[in-house]
Amino acid sequence: MKENMKKIAEMTRRSISEVFEKMFYIFLEPSDGENCGYDMEAVIGFEGPVRGEIRMLISRNIVKKMVLNMLNLKEDEVTPHNIEDCSKEAVNMVAGNLFGKLDNSEMFDLSIPTFNTKYSGLSSMENTCIMDFDSDSGTVGVVVTLSDK
Partner 1 sequence: MSFNVLIVDDSNSMRAVIKKVISISGFKMDRCVEASNGLEALEALTGNWVDVIISDINMPGMNGFELFERLKNDNLLKDIPVIVITTESSDERMQDAFKLGVKGFIKKPFQPEEIRGILYKVIGVNDEGEYEEDSGDDEAFDF
User: Judged by CB under 8 A, which stretch of 26-34, 102-110, 116-124, 141-149 contacts partner 1?
Assistant: 102-110
CA distance 13 to 28: 9
| Interaction between residue 57 and partner 1 (CB under 8 A) | no
| Interaction between residue 18 and partner 1 (CB under 8 A) | yes
Q: Where are the alpha helices (DSSP H) in 25-131?
A: 60-71, 80-102
CA distance 34 to 11: 21
Provide the minimum distance between the beta carbon of 24 and partner 1 in the complex, in angstroms, as a whole number: 9
In the three-class reduction of DSSP (H, G, I as helix; E, B as strand; rest coil), residue 57 is classed as strand
- Give the residue, chosen from 40, 57, 58, 108, that forms a contact with partner 1 under the rule CB under 8 A: 108
| Interaction between residue 25 and partner 1 (CB under 8 A) | no
